[in-house]
Amino acid sequence: MAGGFMLAGCVGAANAKPSKSAAAAVLAEDPAYREFARELNREAGLSEADVLATLAKARVQQSILDAMSRPAEAKPWKDYRPIFLTDKRRDDGIAFYRANRELIERAAAEFGVAPEIIVAIIGVETSYGRNFGSYRVLDALVTLAFHYPPRSQFFRSELRQLFLLGDAHMAYPIDELVGSYAGAMGWGQFIPTSVANFARDYDGDGRIDLWNSLPDIIGSVANYFAVHGWKAGGPVAVMSSTAANARAISPDGLEPVYPVEQLQAWGYAPAAPVDAAELGTLLKLEGKEGREDWLTFHNFYVISRYNRSPLYSMAVFQLAGEIAAGVASDTP
């Protein structure tokens, strides 16, 4: 184990668990943990002893480090798509929408977000609340903050934010929160900074519960998209009918920077009507039948603020379309 220290439950004669104070004392000898506790004391007024006592409850897990090395986003689209675009996920999304239509459509209208996008996010992230992770968030963030050098600074800041959220802000004590191997929480898989900036107490009970309050879950996802600039009624993505002699372009990222009329002049014609002045960009994917060219727009970029992978954004977009089509069939 990197760092050369052991956490609560790993030291002591005859495998006996140490007391909270003993475990905190062990951590206090590690300079990285000690500096983290001092930083929270200096910047936020938290007690060093309390921070160390909470850190002492964490368990560094190799399985978390292993999971970070094999993200699904490393797959090509032809292999990524079948993970998330399944009949079951579509049908469960339609059923979830139908069961919670009033709440979903109320939040969608209030925040100006497409209701099917809210549902698709929850479907892709956690299969509508059936799989929001089995790791304690504290374990995940301590493991990654102090034992995963490639992104230690990012996860250290998320661990810091977890402490700043505090028990009063969340529905449960921070050492009891459960989520993904990356420390994402609840049905919408919010990391601590997302909880701080975007989560909403949408049921008005004075706390944010992203595990057991559907209003909080749905309102928080809707607010995330609203804050990131979702444009109600705006296009998300359309396939491109690409000419054989189309100009070769390699956009840097997903930000829409080319007017559709320019893309069309270069040989990338939208397969469905889009305003000629709409800004878009080109996304090339490796599909099951070969290369797929897509024109993506501002709302696609907004989806990517939830997860930077273009494959993720496309999965959400396509699942949302299938859910919307299924729900539309309810209308006489």
With DSSP H G I counted as helix, E B as strand and the rest as coil, what are the percentages for the chain, rounded to 5?
Answer: 55, 10, 35
Q: Which residues have a Cβ under 8 Å from the Cβ of 246 and sit 6 or more positions away?
A: 266, 267, 268
Cα angle value 299/301/307 (rounded, 5°): 115
Six token digits for residue 77: 């689209």
Q: 106-131 b/e with 16+ CB inside 10 Å = b?
A: bbbeebebbbbbbbbbbbbbbbbbee
125 a catalytic residue: yes
Task: Classify 215 as helix, strand or coil.
Answer: helix
Q: Point out the catalytic residue in the list 116, 125, 158, 278.
A: 125
Alpha-helical (H) ranges within 170-259 are 192-198, 214-227
Altogether, the residues listed in the chain come to a count of 332
User: Among all chains, which residue has been given the structure tokens 């900036």?
Assistant: 197
- Residue 166 CA to residue 173 CA, distance in Å, equals 7
Nearest residue to 117 (alpha-carbon basis) of 220, 203, 221: 221
Six token digits for residue 119: 């549902």
Annotated active-site positions, please? 125
